[in-house]
Amino acid sequence: MKKLAFATLVMTCLSSWAAWDYMGTSNDKDYDVYNDISTIRKNGEIAKMWTLQDFYTTQINRAGEKTRSVKLLRAFNCRAETMANISIAKYSGQMGSGSIVVSGTLDEHLWTWNPIVPESIGETQWKIACGKN
């Protein structure tokens, strides 16, 4: 419970000082994607960076909760060219504003590493986080 409270506090603070850089639009044209390069942290071959998805329309989950934006803390394996979503916060407002609808963070042993898709926004984020530009 303490971890969740701390993660919620950190995510709330992120919305007030983040400098979101526009990356592009999702393949399905449902949302715009942003990065906050000031949050990049690297430890060995693993780099982490906060990203944001800003939806064009309200998203409603199975529980009936309404979301307009999502912040994701992504981990990138710079050598293996993979990435994992490790923390998430869904917001009622656009660009991480409003109240947090749902949030959570995965322990490292639960991270699911996915290959970087060539010529995707994920690949561009991997290059930025890992300093491959």
Show me where the domains of the chain are located: 2-130
Q: Say how far apart CA 44 and CA 86 lie, in whole Å.
A: 17
pLDDT at 74: 98
Mean pLDDT value across residues 26-54: 96
Q: pLDDT (tens digit, 9 = 90+) per residue, 90-110? A: 999 999 999 999 999 999 999
Is the entire prediction scored with pTM above 0.85?
no
Give the pLDDT score at 133.
Answer: 72
For residue 59, give the 3-state DSSP assignment: strand
Q: Looking at the predicted structure, is the pLDDT value of residue 26 above 90? A: no
Cα-Cα end-to-end distance for the chain: 39
CA distances from 97 to 9, 18, 61, 110 (A): 14, 11, 18, 28
Question: Which DSSP state fits 6?
Answer: H
> Does pLDDT of 8 surpass 50?
no
- pLDDT confidence of residue 17: 54
pLDDT digits 0-9 by tens, 43-94? 999 999 999 999 999 999 999 999 999 999 999 999 999 999 999 999 999 9
Q: What is the CA radius of gyration of the chain?
A: 14
Is residue 6 over pLDDT 50? Answer: no
SS3 state of residue 14: helix
Burial grade of 28 (CB within 10 A; 0-12, 13-18, 19 or more)? exposed
Is the CATH number of domain 2-130 2.40.128.710? yes
Distances, alpha carbon 86 to alpha carbons 30, 113, 130, 133, in Å: 22, 10, 17, 24
